[in-house]
Structure 1
């Protein structure tokens, strides 16, 4: 019988992606203009190599922000394993998103100036809406009967993203001057703006301070491959 051995995966695509991600972080952090040409030059690759991985800046930004949703999912899995309620998961998802934004303030604020299309924002809204649909369906009869679940989910998603974007802009100077952002305050703003039947929080309830698991962010600021 002929002996066959499995070949190890080619590491070059992962290295190229990592170089592109690093170039995007560097250019954004230095207030440099982020274009495909600039990214390719900084990453030490050709434009063709860039386009072999990403269709453009829209695709690149989507890939870099994908980790935020991955972290949210990991936290939800933990809570589900502990038998926690859907409202607990909603609270944790909001806090985890805020934690991600706070930890990557410089990159995300700079990325608002990238020359990508509105399509990226719409993809983010769609992805976040899908997560809200899952939560709303799990809540079931607690959702007011007059509300359409998909429209409600899109409203929550769009409002959340706009709140975070405005916060990034408003706190830009504080971040440049090294002042610590108010992560708990932003989490509270986000959760208080959503209805109590969804978050499980009454107006008089304090916001739990154990919603975020720091180890979920231990792998680094942004995906490396």
Structure 2
């Protein structure tokens, strides 16, 4: 299913991955909070408060603050768990014996497919201040790690400031993906992946 098809179908599909925890009761409360955030997002509210969340989750404020110190902390935890589905932390495409071009395409395809699968959720994320910053951070972190993996492939010339270069490229990817998510770019899911790869420097994607 494409991003366009999801625009026509507003119902949220999929759930946030359940994380393992030593205390099942604490984890149930945590997941209830995440479920409340998803519910509020599907309602397209202009803002989300702690009061909104605890009312929707049927928990006390003290229970909320036992898990999250602030709304920013909640947004970070919420999106980090969501992005864990695609291995946003520490994935390494070098182990798949791919060329740099193939690795770039596989990495961006994984990201775009994940966004499309959860499109109603992420389209709401872009509209809420408490989640937009955390979303930007996760997209940028994923893109930066992908570029770092490409730099590690043999054949690429030495980059004087690899971290700065990876951050620079990731920033461009974030801007392009956000514009596509908002409907500012009339391209398909496959085309946005192709563009993300095409805009990488030749010396990087042509590496063996």
TM-score, with length taken from structure 1? 0.67
Report how many residues are paired.
185
What does residue 14 of structure 1 align with? 27
Report 1:77-156 matches (<5 A): 80-116=94-130, 120=134, 123-124=137-138, 127-128=141-142, 130-132=144-146, 134-139=148-153, 141-143=155-157, 145=158, 148-156=161-169
Report 1:17-56 matches (<5 A): 17-32=30-45, 33-56=47-70
CA contact (8 A) 2:88 2:142 kept: no
Larger radius of gyration: 1
> CA offset at residue 69 of structure 1?
5.0
Are the structure 2 counterparts of residues 167 and 139 from structure 1 closer, same or farther at C-alpha, using a change threshold of 3 Å?
A: same
What does residue 199 of structure 1 align with? 205
What does residue 190 of structure 2 align with? 184
1:45 partner SS: coil
CA contact (8 A) 2:90 2:145 kept: no
The Cα RMSD (Å) is 3.3
**CA–CA separation in structure 1 for the residues paired with 2:68 and 2:147:** 28
What do residues 59-91 of structure 1 show as CA deviations (whole Å, max 9, x unaligned)? 2222232242551469956x5554334543322
Unmatched tracts of structure 1, length 5 or more: 1-7, 175-180, 202-225
Unmatched tracts of structure 2, length 5 or more: 1-20
